[in-house]
Amino acid sequence: MNKMLKVILDILIVVACLVFLALTINMVGSFKYANREKEDPIETERSVFEYELRHKSYGEVMNTYYVKRMYNFEPQAGMEDIYNVAEYAHAAFMSRVYAEKGDDRMSESNALRMETVRNRLGDYAYTADEVDEVIRNAP
Amino acid sequence: MRCKKCLHEIGPEELRCPYCGAENSYAVQHQKNMKRFKKDYKKTRNEVIRSAQSTRGLATRAAILIVLIIGCIIMTIVTSLNYVDPDPREVNRRDAERHVDEYVSEAEEFLKRGEYTEFVSFMYAHDLNNIARDKTDHLVSVSYVAQEYYECIQLMEEIILRSTDPDYFDGLDTDIRNFCMYVDGFYEVLEVQRNRKKSEKYHAYMDDMDAELRAAMRTYFSMDDRELEEFLSKSEAQKAVILEGILRHE
């Protein structure tokens, strides 16, 4: 009886050793994964932003803005320019909507907002002119 | 003790009386008992040693197996923790749980100012739709309508502000299809939420979003009231065809 038990335990020990070895390798891999070099998301976003501006794709800038804002209502460091350009574009879009709706209160506050954001654009002030032209000539 | 025969003092271990030679029955019995005890002791000791020797191997093996199993469990836990990426929304969620009253007031301010897309972004960013439902329950109805409005406005902005560069990816067809789907969704949700008595306080905001969306469609799709009503009565596919015609042949 004892001999049989010893044999069974020996088999279980061999299996446990193999599993232990596999888990050790897996654990080493998991540490490599946890300490992997991660790309800087802000740098990627800015690079994409510059590309979109080169092609005047303000629609894509808006898409990024709306997606990012679902996680960070205020812009993260490095994302301020993207948020500013998108905010201006949204305000410009809504300016014609309020005018069509006949909502003077919103038109006035929106105009003020456009001016405030335009003053924040800095090097990207040219985007405000481009957006104004697109909105003016739409559809 | 005393000898039974001559009553002289004798030692308890003396087998015979040194004075009269009589047998000391107590000492004889004691000697017999001691022999028996020694024999039993040896027998028991040998049995214990034999038993210990036969099970020693089992105990060692069992100990090794238990150590290996515990090691495997610990490594599994460490591995799973390493593979879990931190939830980027966790910080926001915890912050919102601490300031839920303040954030709910701020969300309502966005509604009062008519900034509906900001309202939706704010609700999402602070996960107010999911945390502290008892404090945000009153905003559920208007949230549903605002989310559909938000999608419609976002897509319209993407459509109108799209790149005209022929070398740039053209996603107009997808945006038009999605817009048609969301505009139908907006009116379905609006109808359902307007019929709810609980949301009466927010009906004005819902109507305002409807008015803004219609104004946006009239402006950017060059439609008058009649054309807009006709457009809204069409199916999703028909809407998409109409918009393709307007936007591709501008």
The answer to whether the CB atoms of A89 and B219 lie below 8 A apart is no
How far apart (Å, rounded) are the C-alpha atoms in residues B216 and A26?
55
What pLDDT score was predicted for residue A88?
A: 96
Q: Which residue of B has its CA nearest to A72?
A: B125
Work out the pLDDT band at B9, boundaries 50, 70, 90: confident
Instruction: Choose between B88 and A130: higher pLDDT.
Output: A130
Q: How confident is the model at residue B50 (pLDDT cuts 50, 70, 90)?
A: confident
User: Which residues of chain A make contact with B126, given a CB cutoff of 8 A?
Assistant: 73
Task: Work out the average pLDDT over B226-231.
Answer: 95
| Cα B146 from chain centre | 28
Torsion angle in degrees (nearest 10) through CA of B72, B74, B79, B82 = -170
Peptide bond into A75 cis (omega under 30): no
How many structural domains comprise chain B?
1
Say whether pLDDT at A121 is over 70.
yes
Q: What is the pLDDT of residues B171-201, one digit of tens each?
A: 899 999 999 999 999 999 999 998 888 778 8
Q: Does B106 touch chain A (CB under 8 A)?
A: no
Task: Please tell me the pTM assigned to this model.
Answer: 0.73
pLDDT in tens, B109-132: 999 999 999 999 999 998 888 887
The percent helix, strand, coil of chain B (3-state, each to 5) is: 75, 0, 20
A26 vs B: CB within 8 A: yes
Segment among A22-26, B84-88, B97-101, B107-111 with least mean pLDDT: B84-88
CA dihedral in degrees (B160, B164, B168, B169; nearest 10)? 40
ipTM of the complex model: 0.78
**Residues contacting B198, CB < 8 A, separation 6+:** B138, B141
Question: Residues of B with CB below 8 A from A53's CB?
Answer: none
Q: Do B161 and A134 touch (CB under 8 A)?
A: yes
Give the model's pLDDT for residue B191. 93
Confidence (pLDDT) at B200:
84
For the cut 70, the answer to whether the pLDDT of residue B250 exceeds it is no
Mean pLDDT in residue range A120-133: 93
Geometric angle at alpha carbon B32, from B29 and B33, rounded to 5°: 85
Chain B from 149 to 168: CB within 8 A of any A CB: 150, 153-154, 156-165, 167-168
Q: Please list every residue in chain B whose beta carbon sits closer than 8 Å to the beta carbon of residue A19.
A: 68, 72
pLDDT score at A43: 87
Decide: A77 and B104 in contact? Cβ < 8 Å: no
Are B161 and A62 a contacting pair at CB < 8 A? yes
Write down the pLDDT at residue B51: 78
Q: What is the pLDDT of residues A67-114, one digit of tens each?
A: 999 888 999 888 999 999 999 999 999 999 999 999 999 999 999 999
Tokens of A7: 């044999």
CA atoms of B117 and B150, how far apart (whole Å)? 5
Q: What is the pLDDT of residue B182?
A: 96
Residue B151 CA: distances (Å) to CA of A33, A86, B116, B178, B200: 36, 16, 11, 9, 23
CA distances from B142 to B121, B154, B157, B212 (A): 14, 18, 22, 15
Of A20, A96, A97, which is closest to B72 when you measure between CB atoms? A20
| Whether the Cβ atoms of residue A76 and residue A40 lie closer than 8 Å to each other | no
Per-residue pLDDT tens digits for A26-81:
999 999 998 888 777 888 889 999 999 999 999 999 999 999 998 889 998 889 99
Exposed e or buried b per residue across A48-60, where buried means at least 16 C-beta atoms within 10 angstroms of its C-beta: ebeebbeebbbbb
For residue B130, the enclosing domain spans 89-248
